[in-house]
Structure 1
Amino acid sequence: MAPKVKFNLRLKMIMLISLLIVGICITFALFLHHFISATIEDQIGKRALSLAESVANIPEIKDSFYLEDPSSVIQDIVIPIREDTGAEFIVVGNRDGIRYSHPDTNKIGKEMVGGDNEQALLHGQSYISKEVGTLGLSIRGKVPIYDEENIIGVVSVGFLNDNVQDIIINQSKSIWYTLGIIVLIGIIGAIIISNYIKKLLYDMEPEEISHLYLQKEAILESTLEGIIAIDNNGLITTINVAAKEFLPNQHVDMDKHYIGTKIQEILPAITNNRENFTDREMVFGEQIVLVNQLPMYQGEVISGAVITFRKKSELQKVTEELSRIKQYANAQRAQTHEHSNKLHIILGLILNNQLREAIDFIKKENNIQSDRLKFLSENISDPLIHALLLGKFNQALELGVTFSINPYSQLKFSFSEAQQDAILTALGNVIENALDAVKNNIDEERKISIFFTDIGEEVLFEIEDSGTGVKQKDIPHIFEQGFSTKPGLHHGTGLALSKQVIREVGGEIIIEEGELGGACFLISIPKEGDTNE
């Protein structure tokens, strides 16, 4: 069931980004407004203080304090100054705070309002204050008037707060307009970003993505096959529980997480991240597995690969049947090919009227076949091993290889099904390698010799060839997965697989130098059965 989507992702992103931008812009605007207000008020206060200091230092004003009517002189001096500077008022008062000048002539002779003259009149300080006067709240500059060293009065220059706020508002308008444009651009950007992200998400909602992710995780973890995803650099990006159970822990620290690990560190046989293959047999730790690899594409570019694998034992029954059928088929094919060659020889002799030679050839071949079949039938009780060796006999004849079995060989022991499968796998791989090793030699040096016996507590097989053998430096690695002395790809599995299946039934396979000049493989299996723990 698809999850219920409450709000569209596109709408949510537009709203959230827009709210974020609006919130940031409002916060920034308030900060700027406060900063501008403080700056303008500070500048106005300094301007009022500077103007007050200039007025306080005018000699005519100082001298007028000793006149009978100081206001008649002082008022005429400060009015032009107030009009030129734009000050709301310039008030000059005596030590008692009685006005000698004021924009409203009716206020002259009355006491100054605000109660902020004490610092100037008593302590001789120049300062800025913000108080309510007869004209309203104003920013004032207060400066004492000195006659030599004595304070004789005070000058108060003020600018109304309302006028200051008008200046602040006019200065702030451009900021608000700019931030409004930024908000508009931000909303348009939010729409573009949300559309782009929706496109990247294949127009899916977060609830749908979450549901799909959980669904994929459930599928991945419930799959019995091991699954590993790697990126283009061969690093593991995804791995399920089944895969961890397959992997050999000795290659990776037990406390180390597999994610981010190079695939070759745990699966050395995976050498090409771009390769596509199916059901390739490999040895993982103590298990034989069938591995599939499929490259992943992003557009037309390979971005990684998915590797899946399962135990070969899960398909063991089918594999065993197919293996037996294949062995019988190979044996029959080789016999048919050999028989066809003999018939052509006989036909040629008859057509040339060489009847005596034809009869002798038939008798000779009949004796060879009879002796071969008789030897195998009398000395090998297992029909599948009998069929395998007969097929390899005929395959060797096709390749011109001398394939001999030691006349003292004997195999009467009854194998278990597991032992039989192990012997067929190992023996088939080793003989096949021997045929490959000698087929390019000259005719006289194409030799393979086999000896087997079940005398004693173990069943032994010895396979020698006249090939070039195995170099001393390669012997420690000859049974490793992926290692091969043959040129080309897709080698290095047969011997690793052989060693694995033989060990599973408690046996062993080793290599040593043979008497024919090439390699000699020894395979041993205990008679008491599978002792592998």
Structure 2
Amino acid sequence: MIYFQKSDIKNPHIKPNVTVNLKLKMILLIGILIIAIVLVIGVFMNYFISDMLETQMGDRALGVAESVAHIPELVNAFKDDNPASIIGPIIAPIQEVTGAEFIVIGNAEEIRYAHPIAAKVGGKMMGEDNERALVRGESYLSKAIGSLGSSLRAKVPIYLDGNIVGVVSVGFLANDMQTIIHNYNSQLWIVLLLIAGVAVIGAIIIASYIKKVLYGLEPEEITHLLIQKETILQSTHEGIIALNQNGMITMINSAAQLLLFDKQIASDYYVGKKIQEVSPIEHLSVLLNDVNGLSDKEIVIGNNSVFINTVPIYFEQLFIGTVSTFRNKTEIESLTKELTRVKQYANALRAQTHEFSNKLHMILGLLQLGKKKEVIDYIQKESNLQKNWIRILIRKVADPLISGILLGKLNQANESGIDLVIHQDSILENQLSEKKSEVLLTTIGNLIDNAMDAVKKNPSSNRKISIFFTDIGDDIIFEIEDSGEGITEKLAQKIFEQGFTSKEGTNRGFGLALTKQLIAEVNGALYLEEGELGGACFVVSIPKNPREGTENNA
């Protein structure tokens, strides 16, 4: 099982260049956005409030003017010889109650009958905006500069017996209106600034939370990790697929696509789908979702035999899915064969080196004792023995690799005090294909090694191994026999099973199983028979290709 903690996510030692950290960047961006929004709202509200107050005051002025224009006493005052004396007392309390800056009454010639400043009564009305009321009889609002300054004022005509006899002008000074608008806007901007301040504090809190959720990683670091993870994932030769707790694919690499689906397309096609939706193998989803995990489970997918390893993943003690790896059995077997051959060559070289060293020491000892004749005889004997082995192997075995391993095993057996004999009628003249040569190399090495192990417990006088091989006929035959204890009938049924062994130690029980499988791949067979030496006798039979036979006959 794999357990992740939050502290496992970030590696502070691998960092891309980061100019501005994410937290500060978010605070600045959100802050700028908030300020921009506040400014837009403030400008809009400032215009809205100004327009609304101006409209309200204009409606208010127009309402007061309409009311004043319809006061009977005021209208009848136009019949009097001195209208100002009657109209003035009527207007003064109305102006005070309504809060208007001024209420001015003028006749058809625009002569004032009422004004807030008594000295201006009798003078001509200013602004030149009375025409619409006096000529056309309209009620309206206007902005003009009067005797009291710039103002917004309502103009309403006064009718007497159906004729326009005067005009009512009710207004509010522009300076007073701006003061009111400024007061409202000041309160508005204070509220908006408070909102902006709260929003900036919120931005800081949000940025801190997001930074915490991302485990302190910057966007550049996340991008770097994503690219790194994707590169590692896709460059791995083993197939890798990850599922979440619901059985949906969250990650898959190219090697897994080739093994599972025999094609390679964009990973996005598979991500987010359940494994049973994209794979025709019914029991695959069960294997990949195993919460207990799997180790080297062998299954057949299409034309490939693969090993599956499934590991459950836990984050903060919560099961979040599984990761499964796929290894092609053929590739593993190829590596195993290569390692076996290397081991065989190494053992052979080690044996020759050790034996050669022992012989040099013996020659040195004889020379120190002055036994020159014995040294010459010993060297001549060893030379003849080596030449005899080499001559026999060169003459009887056409494949140099087979000759090499047999010569190495002869030296290894000689060093170990084992009498290894190649039968004089043995012959292997046909040129072997590369595949069959590799199979025979692995087979010969494993079987001879097993035979040596079997006879090591015997007395030195009974450590014998016999090898016979021939390619006469349609098959290549190898017989390797030893004088060991042999194999009982009960064990004979299990010795070719992978993992089964009668020897002590770990990592055993694979040699014979691998050998039998390799021989089967070239349509050969491996048998166990009762040998003449009293131990086990393994017989290897490999059919010759038609081409091999014809080449030899040619």
Instruction: Kindly indicate whether residue 270 of structure 2 is the aligned counterpart of residue 258 of structure 1.
Output: yes
Give the deviation of 1:136 after TM superposition: 2.3
User: Please, what TM-score do these two structures have when normalized by structure 2?
Assistant: 0.58
The alignment partner of 1:271 has SS state of helix
The match for 2:71 is 58
The match for 2:315 is 298
Q: Which runs of 5+ in 1 are unaligned?
A: 336-379, 399-415, 429-453, 460-525
The match for 1:394 is 490
CA, structure 1 residues 233+104, in 2 after alignment: closer, same or farther (shift >3 Å)? same
* Conserved? CA contact 2:305–2:329, under 8 Å: yes
Spell out, residue by residue over 1:393-418, the C-alpha distance to the aligned partner (whole angstroms, 9 max, x if none).
525879xxxxxxxxxxxxxxxxx998
Output the CA distance in 2 between the equivalents of 1:392 and 1:68: 153
Specify the code of the residue in structure 1 equivalent to 2:92: I
CA, structure 1 residues 119+384, in 2 after alignment: closer, same or farther (shift >3 Å)? farther
Please say which of residues 67-76 and 6-15 is displaced more in the overlay: 67-76
Output the CA distance in 1 between the equivalents of 2:525 and 2:53: 96
The match for 1:150 is 163
Instruction: Kindly indicate whether residue 297 of structure 2 is the aligned counterpart of residue 280 of structure 1.
Output: yes
The match for 1:48 is 61
Give the deviation of 1:208 after TM superposition: 1.8
1:13 to 26, 46, 50: 26
Output the CA distance in 1 between the equivalents of 2:143 and 2:49: 17
CA, structure 1 residues 324+291, in 2 after alignment: closer, same or farther (shift >3 Å)? farther
Instruction: Kindly indicate whether residue 215 of structure 2 is the aligned counterpart of residue 119 of structure 1.
Output: no
Output the CA distance in 2 between the equivalents of 1:275 and 1:235: 18
Spell out, residue by residue over 1:278-303, the C-alpha distance to the aligned partner (whole angstroms, 9 max, x if none).
33222222222222222222211111
Output the CA distance in 1 between the equivalents of 2:320 and 2:32: 38
The match for 2:504 is none
The match for 1:98 is 111
1:310 to 305, 313, 327: 327
* Conserved? CA contact 1:142–1:155, under 8 Å: yes
1:420 to 507, 519, 532: 519
Spell out, residue by residue over 1:175-206, the C-alpha distance to the aligned partner (whole angstroms, 9 max, x if none).
33332222222122111111111112221222
The match for 2:286 is 271
Give the deviation of 1:92 after TM superposition: 0.8
Output the CA distance in 1 between the equivalents of 2:251 and 2:443: 38
Output the CA distance in 2 between the equivalents of 1:220 and 1:158: 81
Specify the code of the residue in structure 2 equivalent to 1:88: E
Output the CA distance in 2 between the equivalents of 1:21 and 1:426: 82
The alignment partner of 2:241 has SS state of strand
Give the deviation of 1:256 after TM superposition: 8.7
Output the CA distance in 2 between the equivalents of 1:113 and 1:207: 72
CA, structure 1 residues 241+385, in 2 after alignment: closer, same or farther (shift >3 Å)? farther
Instruction: Kindly indicate whether residue 52 of structure 2 is the aligned counterpart of residue 35 of structure 1.
Output: no
Give the deviation of 1:271 after TM superposition: 0.6
The alignment partner of 2:325 has SS state of strand
Q: Which runs of 5+ in 2 are unaligned?
A: 1-13, 341-441, 455-474, 495-514, 528-540, 549-554
The match for 2:428 is none
The alignment partner of 2:114 has SS state of coil
Specify the code of the residue in structure 2 equivalent to 1:213: L
Taking only the aligned residue pairs, the percentage that are identical comes to 44
Spell out, residue by residue over 1:73-126, the C-alpha distance to the aligned partner (whole angstroms, 9 max, x if none).
222221221122111000111122222222223332333222322221122121
Specify the code of the residue in structure 1 equivalent to 2:286: T
* Conserved? CA contact 1:71–1:101, under 8 Å: yes
Output the CA distance in 2 between the equivalents of 1:280 and 1:82: 101
Give the deviation of 1:383 after TM superposition: 6.5
Spell out, residue by residue over 1:56-87, the C-alpha distance to the aligned partner (whole angstroms, 9 max, x if none).
11122212223333222222221221122111
The alignment partner of 2:285 has SS state of coil
CA, structure 1 residues 383+304, in 2 after alignment: closer, same or farther (shift >3 Å)? farther
* Conserved? CA contact 1:385–1:424, under 8 Å: no
The match for 1:166 is 179
Instruction: Kindly indicate whether residue 202 of structure 2 is the aligned counterpart of residue 189 of structure 1.
Output: yes
* Conserved? CA contact 2:152–2:171, under 8 Å: yes
Specify the code of the residue in structure 2 equivalent to 1:67: D
Spell out, residue by residue over 1:371-399, the C-alpha distance to the aligned partner (whole angstroms, 9 max, x if none).
xxxxxxxxx97669999xx989525879x
Output the CA distance in 2 between the equivalents of 1:161 and 1:37: 12
Output the CA distance in 2 between the equivalents of 1:152 and 1:222: 100
* Conserved? CA contact 1:276–1:293, under 8 Å: yes
Give the deviation of 1:154 after TM superposition: 0.8
Output the CA distance in 2 between the equivalents of 1:86 and 1:328: 121
Output the CA distance in 2 between the equivalents of 1:425 and 1:28: 89
Aligned residue pair count: 373
Output the CA distance in 2 between the equivalents of 1:528 and 1:89: 126
* Conserved? CA contact 1:328–1:391, under 8 Å: no
Specify the code of the residue in structure 1 equivalent to 2:519: Q
Output the CA distance in 1 between the equivalents of 2:228 and 2:265: 30
The match for 1:109 is 122
Spell out, residue by residue over 1:195-232, the C-alpha distance to the aligned partner (whole angstroms, 9 max, x if none).
11111222122222222222222222222222222211
2:143 to 130, 140, 154: 130
Output the CA distance in 2 between the equivalents of 1:256 and 1:19: 37
* Conserved? CA contact 1:324–1:384, under 8 Å: no
CA, structure 1 residues 384+391, in 2 after alignment: closer, same or farther (shift >3 Å)? farther
CA, structure 1 residues 419+328, in 2 after alignment: closer, same or farther (shift >3 Å)? closer
CA, structure 1 residues 385+12, in 2 after alignment: closer, same or farther (shift >3 Å)? farther
Give the deviation of 1:247 after TM superposition: 2.6
The match for 1:211 is 224
CA, structure 1 residues 79+392, in 2 after alignment: closer, same or farther (shift >3 Å)? farther
